[in-house]
Amino acid sequence: MPDFLPSELVVTPKGGVYHLDICPDELAHKIIIVGDQDRVEVVSNYFDEITHKNQHREFACHTGLYQGKEISVVSTGIGTDNIDIVINELDALVNIDLETRNEKKEKVSLEIIRLGTCGILQNEIPIDSFILSTHALGIDNVGHFYERNVDIETQKLEKAIDEGVKLPKYIKPYLTKASEELNNKLDSAEIKKGITVTSSGFYGPQGRRLRLPLVENEMLDSFSDFEYNGHYFSNLEMECSALFSLGSSLGHKTTAICLGLANRRKKEFTKNYESKIIELIEYVLDKI
């Protein structure tokens, strides 16, 4: 019997993974993930050559060469539920033989960089900053479905956060680290860094109150005010926790660099979204 039966791992008639609808030879091992499917083309327009293009639902994938580097750009849509699909299927493309349905002995470690947008949690971080995640704190639930292997330092920081921040009572936060190797490539003097909060939504789960009252009105301030051994929360968004948690458990290198659109403390929103996203794309393509 194969390791993975058709009910667990769906393979398309052309031999690809189900939701992404791509085949193993269509994927590069260096991958930029973006939320917005229309942004895939904005990135691949920089490629010197495009070798593959497809789209199924919100998952678009363009693979090509940029200055001699083979890169795939994949859109994930919004949220950690979509990240669960994307990371499992990217891993299956390289580490499971889709013909025999058996796990491969020799594993491939992908480099996966999220290029996204976020809200800012600190007064000192101006809108339009590029923010590199050192860690992600999940206040979603995807990471809780998988066994996790977390080092002692991260466990201590997770405990301090659990005790120090104010969350609705049913939310159990989980902390994971970004790849230091990828962060070293993406870092530079103008880049801001910190812990990224990953929420399960844009409004209430990020402390935005429109017409519905929230059960915990001090959540956002408790993130902004938190500090432990030099660690602080820089930003919040909707994908990093599942990306870092599942990605690192599967042996991949994962990180995220995001454009800060809204400063939630100062109540400011960017006027430079389009030009700054282009700047971030060019920055990431040159660094990775």
Site membership for ligand URA, residue 280 (CB under 6 A): no
DSSP, res 181: H
Does 17 interact with ligand URA (rule: CB under 6 A)? Answer: no
Q: Does 202 bind ligand URA (CB under 6 A)?
A: yes
Distance CA 11, CA 21 (A): 9
Write out the binding residues for ligand URA, residues 92-131 only, by CB under 6 A.
117-119
Contact flag: residue 261 with ligand URA (CB under 6 A): yes
Question: Shortest gap between Cβ of 204 and ligand URA (angstroms)?
Answer: 12
Q: Least Å distance between CB 25 and ligand URA?
A: 34
Instruction: Using the CB atoms, write b or e for 160-176: b if 16+ within 10 Å.
Output: bbeeebebeeebebbbb
- Amino acid identity of residue 82, one-letter, is N
Assess contact for 118 and 196: CB atoms under 8 A: yes
User: Given candidates 206, 224, 254, 255, which one binds ligand URA under the rule CB under 6 A?
Assistant: 206
Among positions 40, 250, 262, 281, the unique one binding ligand URA when judged by CB under 6 A: 262
Cβ–Cβ under 8 Å, residues 24 and 260: no
* Residue number with CB closer to ligand URA (31 or 118): 118
Give yes or no for residue 237 binding ligand URA (CB under 6 A). Answer: yes
Q: Beta-strand (E) ranges in 67-211?
A: 69-75, 96-97, 102-103, 111-120, 130-138, 174-177, 192-198
Least gap, CB of 53 to ligand URA (angstroms): 27
Contacts with ligand URA, residue ranges (CB under 6 A): 117-119, 202, 206, 237-238, 261-262
